[in-house]
Structure 1
Amino acid sequence: MRCPCGCGRKIELLLINEAEPRWDLLLDEEGRPSLAPSVWLRDGCHSHFWIRKGKVRWCP
């Protein structure tokens, strides 16, 4: 996915059980994705956000 801040950075998240760190991808009944835990880019734009029901929720 691309960073939702608009910087254009490509973000790759590991979804396989053996990976660490890893994220869980869940789809609701309408097919909207949610990710857990949050995504926190520690360099570059420093974005920190959740994906909940297909929408970006920024961390304060």
Structure 2
Amino acid sequence: RKTIGVPIAPVDRANHERCATAVRAGLADAEFAAAWAEGRAMTLEEAVVCALGEAADE
């Protein structure tokens, strides 16, 4: 999303912030930063595979 210059949709912004805050609360700063960087480095295809893989595990 950021790579192509698309902002978070206003309708999604509150949920995005709530989720990010919850994840930050559960991780040390360095862990969060590493996970965030890993996610940002993913291609769209990698992100889809990751998301679908986690959904299948639940």
- Measured against the shorter chain, the TM-score band is 0.3 to 0.5
Normalised to the residue count of structure 2, the TM-score between the two structures is 0.32
Q: Work out which of the two has the higher radius of gyration on C-alpha atoms and give 1 or 2.
A: 2
**Higher relative CO (CA 8 A, sep ≥ 6), structure 1 or 2?**
1
Larger relative strand fraction? 1
